Structure 1
Amino acid sequence: MTLLAQTDLRLDTTFVDYVFVAFYFLLVLGIGVMARRSISSSLDFLLSGRALPAWVTGIAFISANLGAIELIGMTANGAQYGVPTVHYYWIGAIPAMVFLGIVMMPFYYGSKARSVPEFLRKRFNTTTQRVNALTFALASVLIAGVNLFALGLVMEALLGWSLQVAIPIAALVVLSYTFLGGLSAAIYNEVLQFFVILALLIPLTVAGLARVGGWAGLQEKITAVGGAEQLSSWPGTSLTEIANPFLSVLGIVFGLGFVLSFGYWTTNFAEVQRALSAKSMSAARRTPIIGAFPKALIPIVIVIPGMVAGVLVPQLTTLKTGGQSDVTYNNALSLLMGEVLPNGVLGVALAGLLAAFMAGMAANVSSLNTVFTYDIWQDWIRPGRDDRYYLQVGRAVTVIGCLLAIGTAFLAGSYQNLMDYIQALFSFFNAPLFAIFILGLFWKRMTGHAGWTGLISGTIAAVTVDVLVRSGVLALSSQAGSFVGASAAFVVGIVVAVIVSMVTAPKPDAELVGLVWALTSKEDRSHSTTGEDAGWYRSPALLGGLVLLLTVGLYLVVP
């Protein structure tokens, strides 16, 4: 299963390019070896001993998101849909990241929960914890497969290997440093990878725009090839493929901006885990907000290169005009790299691409081993063992997770656009979780039984919509189907949770202190800081307000 013939896909690399890539691999593995020295307990391996500063966790927070989903998926979306892709960032990420830092992290961090499923046990019951732990484990393996598939594509482009060879070898590299150093190795590598990724994206954007005559030249070429609607962010009909402008905006604002966005950023443990590893409450609250600043600006160097690829690469231009091609939009990034980057710079760019995919996969594997070790193995299957035993379980799950990701990588390769696949997964797993989470946070009457029934019913609703879309019963595109599926999951999850809550008994108020809004004091929610965390410039509310203003300003600049 190769997306392109090797003669078309192979990049024109030289010895200098291989030197850059080899040096990067050695550096990554070296970080893993160094991080191993600080591992003495399962908490060190799975949560970095909760000792990391905010700037480290903040960069790691956004770097963990800069995986295959971001680079391959968003450049593919840029090539296919154009400017409306920015909605995934500005309405589909920033508000939820600010909400996580200001509103939800005091509950996550203050409860001393080691994972999202463990927080659900404290708020609801063990059944809700186990349902979420199992679905999260499945989602982690599937999403790790997306990153691994994309990493295999890069190695195929670099070395000419088939995906059947490239994917297992790529998995071995990620396994090596994650197995050695646990979450600390993953996080410190993510900080390094963030800057290496920028070393790919910035030159690629500049070189791509130079080739098409700048922004004005790009607009002219897109108008000629893909349609003027791809140059305007609203109403975004090219993205949603919903012809009615009002319904298209509704799908973006509610389906993407509220359900999918808040569902992903506020409950996805692969992201929340980075904040939980921070050294203090203040650092934990600032983690997602620090990450929101680069997240707001990243579209400039991801979406624009995708748009350039759509008009500069002949195979993609053929796709945009409705013709047949031997490539898919997933190849936009690697094809553009080969088209505009010279040797030497190409080696740095390839290292950046490898960095992105390893960051994404490592984030999913490190969160998987935490949830499986604590929420499934320790709390459910083998409780009461010594800490050393659970440290070994965490390492074993790291190996198993990487092996399973090899299988799911080939599943991801069956999709023409990885964003279609990933948005479907988010609608299945994240949207119903957000529904029961947000209801349980603000409604103390919600019961434990309502938690797990809401989760399951919401997931069933999203899967049902996906099946109806794929079978042609619902005349929606995959993108629109994901928005509708997420909305259905959220609504059904809320309705079922409310109904079940009305016929079952809630927990006593005394058991919900610090877990629901109404029973948590303002002081505990705000957590004023002293010492090294003091200072107005470290205020989560101030930083959150600034990044929201930045986002509004960007929307005013973009048509």
Structure 2
Amino acid sequence: MSSLDILIFIAYGLVILLVGNFLHRSKEKENSSSNYFFASNSLPWYLIGTSIIAANISAEQFIGMSGSGYAIGLGIATYEWIAALILIVVAKYFLPILIKNEIYTMPQFMAYRYDNRIKTILAVFWIALFVLVNITSILYLGALTIKILLDIPLIWAIVGLAVFTLLYSVFNGLKAIASTDIIQVFFLVSGGLMTTYLALNATSDGNGIIEGFKIIANEAPEKLHMIIKSSDPNFTYLPGWRAIFGGIWIAGIYYFGANQYIIQKALGAKNLREAQRGMAFAGFLKVLIPLIVVVPGIAAFVLDAKIDTPDGAYPWLLNTFIPSGFKGFIFAALIAAIVSSLSAIINSTSTIFTMDIYKNFFHKTASEKQLVKTGRLSGVLAMIIAASVAPLLGRVEQAFQFIQEFTGMLSPGITAIFILGLFWKKTTSNAAFFGIIISLPASIFLKFVFPAMPFLDKMLCAFLFTSFFMVVWSLLEGRMKTYPKAINVDKRMFKTDRVFNMVSIGIFIMLLALYIVFW
């Protein structure tokens, strides 16, 4: 990177820090746990939508999905495009129940609907997952990219990302994070589009992006299909039509409906209407994301990128085709994606620890000031632990992949108890408790007995088995009676306003057109 690139990147960093601190609340509000963790329920739709995208898109998308675009093609966009529909479903059917019952954390929901056993188990699980998998992997992948571009030691890149994230997020709370995310998403989207333009323009030898698309269609037509055939070696990652209608919905409902650092944005909304519109806006942005993170990887394939692994596609594009000045802006976009995700996960980690563990088990009468202080300290501690573990990922890649797969083994069970808890009044606490326990052996059984089965199919099967187990247990235990802690659901709760409906229909039409063109 040139001096101009570094100057642009430093300017970005200063803007983020200045804006984050400018949005710092008054001392009175600063000591409010409601403001720190949930923005005092004041977030409008546009902050919710951009903050969800900022939390969702990180180095895993820029580096990982570009690599998948290089290796698999446009089919990997299924994860983004189906996510747009899942956001609509969560907004319409899940949010009304959560907001009406004043649910602010997922462990809180587990205690509200079931009991404290499940709440405590999942609170500990989510904290461990966020710190040891999510934050750690984002730090490592982000630092790896910084190491390549700036030629600095990996450990200092990790420390730099950790400190920068803490400076603007851990002291300011959700409102400042969500407000600053507008700037982060601006860098993320504009920088990503710039990379796509320059990559396609390079593909056409300077003849523009339309010509670049034509060349990709002519030279690599196999990369422009959404439906992977069973004969394709990538079928195990995206099993044809089942990738659209199967296990991806289990993963998506867990991620966007029961994942604290995503759903917390919507739960901090002014009201239900703003929350739903915000998630619909996030769904619209998800439709655009493959243009930013997948198409550059396909272009790198056509350009015959000199890389050792597919994940090197995006850094290769930055080093090869991005001119001075633009490189600094795009690098800022990549860092924006990384830091915004880190800040969201740190905030949610501290929220769960403070509200579901510290307040309940260690200090039930804690003051607002003590809760905010605990949230900040737990956020700093989480980052220190993650930063300490992150360098190890370079040496224990297989162990890291195992952790990721282990997470996927548990998500079907969590999704089952979440959905049944919301919509089936007969679900009992014991059914949920043993359901979450039985889901892991079910996933392990599928992994070793059916090793050739695509991972998304395994998730669907594990979800169906766990759900069936819970239904049978609940019927036997409850003798067909409604469980006392069941949530009352009225179909009138799911009525949505015209704006939400129009955006939802627009998203569906766009996705239908995309799948018709690229099926």
Task: Provide TM-score, normalisation by structure 1.
Answer: 0.84
The verdict on how the C-alpha distance between 1:369 and 1:243 changes in structure 2, with shifts beyond 3 A counting, is closer
1:312 aligns with 2:303: yes
1:164 corresponds, among 155, 158, 162, to 155
The residue number in structure 2 matching 1:557 is: 517
- Is contact 1:463-1:485 (8 Å) kept? no
Q: Which secondary structure does the structure 2 equivalent of 1:486 belong to?
A: helix
The residue number in structure 2 matching 1:8 is: none
The residue number in structure 1 matching 2:208 is: none
2:323 corresponds, among 331, 342, 346, to 342
CA deviations 1:49-85 (Å, max 9, x no partner) are 1111111111111121111222122111101111211
2:4 corresponds, among 16, 37, 51, to 16
The residue number in structure 2 matching 1:115 is: 105
The verdict on how the C-alpha distance between 1:461 and 1:175 changes in structure 2, with shifts beyond 3 A counting, is farther
Percent identity, please.
24
- Is contact 1:178-1:398 (8 Å) kept? no
- Is contact 1:329-1:416 (8 Å) kept? no
Q: Structure 1 runs of 4+ off > 4 angstroms?
A: 236-240, 411-423, 463-466, 505-513
* Runs (5+) with no aligned partner, structure 1: 1-12, 223-227, 317-324, 529-534
- Is contact 2:305-2:313 (8 Å) kept? no
The residue number in structure 1 matching 2:473 is: 500
Q: Which secondary structure does the structure 1 equivalent of 2:241 belong to?
A: helix
The residue number in structure 2 matching 1:231 is: 224
CA deviations 1:284-339 (Å, max 9, x no partner) are 122211100010122122111011122325323xxxxxxxx3xx222221111111
Shift of 1:237: 4.6
Which residue type is aligned with residue 469 of structure 2?
V
Which residue type is aligned with residue 232 of structure 1?
H
Shift of 1:174: 0.8
2:116 corresponds, among 92, 109, 126, to 126
The residue number in structure 2 matching 1:72 is: 63
Q: Aligned partners of 1:280 and 1:231: how far apart in 2?
A: 41
Q: Aligned partners of 1:265 and 1:273: how far apart in 2?
A: 10
The residue number in structure 2 matching 1:521 is: 490
Q: Aligned partners of 1:217 and 1:359: how far apart in 2?
A: 35
Shift of 1:170: 1.2
The verdict on how the C-alpha distance between 1:129 and 1:541 changes in structure 2, with shifts beyond 3 A counting, is farther
Q: Aligned partners of 1:418 and 1:283: how far apart in 2?
A: 41
1:431 aligns with 2:416: no
Q: Which secondary structure does the structure 1 equivalent of 2:21 belong to?
A: helix
The residue number in structure 1 matching 2:498 is: 536
1:138 aligns with 2:107: no
The verdict on how the C-alpha distance between 1:188 and 1:166 changes in structure 2, with shifts beyond 3 A counting, is same
Which residue type is aligned with residue 201 of structure 2?
A
Deviates more, 1:498-507 or 1:400-409: 498-507
Which residue type is aligned with residue 250 of structure 1?
R
Q: Aligned partners of 2:456 and 2:102: how far apart in 1?
A: 33
Number of aligned pairs?
508
- Is contact 2:246-2:457 (8 Å) kept? no
CA deviations 1:104-148 (Å, max 9, x no partner) are 000111111121111121111111211221111122111111211
1:48 aligns with 2:17: no
Q: Aligned partners of 2:345 and 2:113: how far apart in 1?
A: 24
Which residue type is aligned with residue 269 of structure 2?
A
- Is contact 1:56-1:188 (8 Å) kept? yes
Shift of 1:344: 0.4
Q: Aligned partners of 2:467 and 2:498: how far apart in 1?
A: 38
The residue number in structure 1 matching 2:209 is: none
Correspondence 1:160-559 to 2 at 5 A: 160-213=151-204, 214-222=212-220, 228-237=221-230, 241-242=234-235, 248-256=240-248, 258-316=249-307, 325=308, 328-410=309-391, 412-413=393-394, 424=405, 427-463=408-444, 465=446, 468=448, 474-476=450-452, 481-505=454-478, 512=485, 515=487, 519-526=488-495, 536-537=498-499, 540-559=500-519
* Runs (5+) with no aligned partner, structure 2: 205-211
The verdict on how the C-alpha distance between 1:545 and 1:53 changes in structure 2, with shifts beyond 3 A counting, is same
